[in-house]
Amino acid sequence: MSWGLVSSLALTLGIGGVQPASAQMKLPDVTVDAPKPKTRQATQRTQATTTRNAQRRVATRNLPPRAPVPYVTPSTGTIGAPPSPYAGGQVATGGGLGLLGNRGVMDTPFNQTSFTSQLIQNQQARTIRDVLVNDPSVRTIQAAGGGADSLFIRGFYYDSGDYALNGLAGIAPYYSTGANFIERVELLKGPAALLNGMTVGGTGASSGGAVGGSVNLVTKHAPDADITQLTTTYASKSQFGEQVDVSRRYGEHKEWGVRLNSTYVNGNTPWDRQKDEFGNAHLAVDYHGENVRIDADVGYQADQLNPPLRFFTVGATTTSIPAPPSPGTNFQVPWAYYAPTDFFSTVKGEVDLNDRITAYAGFGYHDSNINYRYASPVISNTGALSGLPLTGSETYQTFAGEAGFRMTADTGPINHALNVGYSVTDRTYTQRVVTAATIPATAWNLYADPSNIPLTGFSSTLAANQQVGANLWSVGVSDTMSILNKRIQLTVGARRQTAGTEVANFLPNTTSRPFADTSVWTPAYALVIKPVEHVSLYANYIEGLQTPVVVTGNFANVGTVFPPGQTKQVEAGVKVDFGRITTTVSAFDISRPSVISVTAAGATQASQALNGLQRNTGAEFNVFGEVMPSLRLLGGVAYTHGVQEQTQGGATDGKRAVGVPELTASLGAEWDTSFMRDLTLTGRVVYTGAQYVDVKNTISLPDWTRVDLGARYTFKSPWNGKPIVVRASVENVFNKAYWASAYSGVITLGAPRTYLVSTTFNF
């Protein structure tokens, strides 16, 4: 506590505090013409007062300079003002809502969770997928050990290229993002076209749209206190690494900040025959002045995975899924590799025009490149595999920008929070692929080491190149009207979204196909009612937009681009803040247009059409915070019923949606032990119910449960007295072998038992 604060408190309480010299305030002496005391006791009191005043003047001259006081970000701003951590430190008290700015949990008419850097570090999260496993409505669908972080949120696909960085869609590393430079992982469940606009995603029939939810990654910037931190890491089987975090603030009011985060790991992973070399560096520089705030970020990330685990394609003749292999078995051919690199940057600024209006703008640039060589296997009933070897490269170049105003106004008893925003996202995708002769099922098996499968020659005559460009821009407006000290809040808004797409060289000899822009209105309505203190009832109707879909594969209308499909959600829930623990119960109904295959009468080749519908209804229970000061909870349970509607000829109407388990749960706990000071024990259970692999619901994956355990111990350094934290955990403690997920005709394996150890040193 600073001397200035101590003296202010002391003076307030009337206990004879002191004022720093910088305050330039002189304490009054006893005047010479004061009335004479009538008693000896009064005389003694006067002399004591004179003595204390003299002591105060001497003490004031000897005080150190007052510590700089940072400027405060107003409610209409977002830069430099992330919502504070909630009790327990694992989750924040609020998060960013795009167009609406930052909102507290109890004032948010949606189901949102913002995971903190404290949770990321204590759980030793390597990438963002390790953070999101804490939410029961989120499941990763890419193979563990595959280098990608695509998700299901509320049973709908979320592309790894949709992750936003500092509120700008598609700027985060494309396939997977290291967690070491992330301050907050903001998970918003449900479509959010009004809040964030359309996401650009990939190019396939199920790409993009953020239908079931969205993820925004907030980068680390310099806090008020200096940081000099080194963390050493280990992950089985022999992956050693380090993380560096250095941060400083400068200036009379700590206006200037700089922070550097980097990580590097290399070695053998828990999978047989797999080696991973991963590293990144991120630099954040900012200026937070009295009325102007600017954040600038630049980063680079690279990964070299040999060989990568890929998904299994379920063959046309496959009628059942064989048992998974022993945990850690690597089915991939030895000459496969996966090497993505990402350069990314963002710049965001805010200007307070007055006490009630803030203007903001930002832009980001992302260049993603990947080189690869692998074979994606087709799996049979017996576990025999066959696959087409591929080698090639992909490039994504993304630009994103935004600008707008946030303002507050009062009209009688009604307070208005008004927002006007413009956003633009432009992405160009280029792919070059060369194939080789198919590996036959007689040479490849799920349960056997494929090291004897040779690398065959690749033929340029089988090349399939493509280039797809997507340009999205929109204008959104909203007004949150509140009365009775925000006890009742009504948000009304709409966004006009325009999407354009261009396809070139989608197949050999295919000419460029530009398409006219398509514009769509997406409204949203949301209500928060606080009937009593610490209770919020909320409801919303909001729409989402799926990225224009390009038809790929062996279809008669390959290269066709479908217009944006409009997703609709109705949701209601209740949030209760018990002081140190918060619970949310919500129910939702989401309908999303889907692409289906249709074959016209007399046609020999199927086409695709945007005529189907997937409807997911469900309920969620979430909890975070402290049951008591020594016991923290995080997680919940989700029920999701996904069904197909409007299928071709009604053949699969009412059938369960592919890859959507009805019941999922993630529940973690931390306990600060009473028998050993500074020792914390941790545990987490992750459950995923059975899920169907095919649209006819004839093939399914069984349910699975994963148990994680860990501990951390904090002690003071013998050389500088600062804390040293040792963390150790085991994921999949019982080394469970399981099929993790199903998605659009493919399935993936779960990760084997994984040991994680790290030590954090503070300097």
In 3D space, the residue among 493, 488, 481, 490 whose CA is nearest the CA of residue 412 turns out to be 481
Reported as a single tens digit per residue, the pLDDT across 689-700 is 999 999 999 999
Q: What is the dihedral of CA 481, 484, 485, 487, to 10 degrees?
A: -80
Reported as a single tens digit per residue, the pLDDT across 605-635 is 888 888 889 999 999 999 999 999 999 999 9
**Does the pLDDT of residue 39 top 60, yes or no?**
no
Reported as a single tens digit per residue, the pLDDT across 431-453 is 888 989 999 999 999 999 999 99
Residue 400: predicted pLDDT: 96
Reported as a single tens digit per residue, the pLDDT across 529-584 is 999 999 999 999 999 888 777 777 678 887 777 878 889 999 999 999 999 999 99
- What pTM does this model have? 0.89
**β-bridge pairing 164-165 and 213-219:** parallel
Rg of the chain in Å (alpha carbons): 29
Reported as a single tens digit per residue, the pLDDT across 631-665 is 999 999 999 999 999 988 889 999 999 999 999 99
The answer to whether 189 and 535 have CB atoms below 8 angstroms apart is no
**Does the pLDDT of residue 6 top 90, yes or no?**
no
Residue limits of CATH 2.40.170.20 in the chain = 216-762
SS3 state at 41 = helix
Reported as a single tens digit per residue, the pLDDT across 297-331 is 999 999 999 999 989 999 889 999 999 999 999 99
CATH of domain 94-215: 2.170.130.10
Residue 699: predicted pLDDT: 96
Residue 119: predicted pLDDT: 98
The amino acid at 60 = T
Percent of the chain with pLDDT over 90: 73
- Pick one of 1.10.630.10, 3.40.50.2300, 3.50.50.60, 2.40.170.20 as the CATH number of 216-762: 2.40.170.20
Lowest mean pLDDT among 96-100, 109-113, 514-518, 647-651: 514-518
Residue 202: predicted pLDDT: 57
Residue 503: predicted pLDDT: 66
**Does the pLDDT of residue 55 top 50, yes or no?**
no
Q: What is the mean pLDDT of the chain?
A: 88
Q: Kindly provide the b/e burial profile for residues 79-108, where b requires at least 16 CB atoms within 10 angstroms of the residue's own CB.
A: bbbbbebbbbbbbbbbbbbbbbbbbebbbb
Residue 59: predicted pLDDT: 41
Reported as a single tens digit per residue, the pLDDT across 163-208 is 999 999 999 999 999 999 999 999 999 999 999 988 876 544 445 5
SS3 state at 161 = helix
Reported as a single tens digit per residue, the pLDDT across 241-265 is 999 999 999 999 999 999 999 999 9
Residue limits of CATH 2.170.130.10 in the chain = 94-215
Which residues are bridge partners to 95 per DSSP? 103
Which residues are bridge partners to 527 per DSSP? 490, 539
Lowest mean pLDDT among 11-15, 148-152, 587-591: 11-15
Residue 347: predicted pLDDT: 98
**Does the pLDDT of residue 406 top 90, yes or no?**
yes
**What is the SS3 assignment for 310-333?**
CCEEECCCCCCCCCCCCCCCCCCC
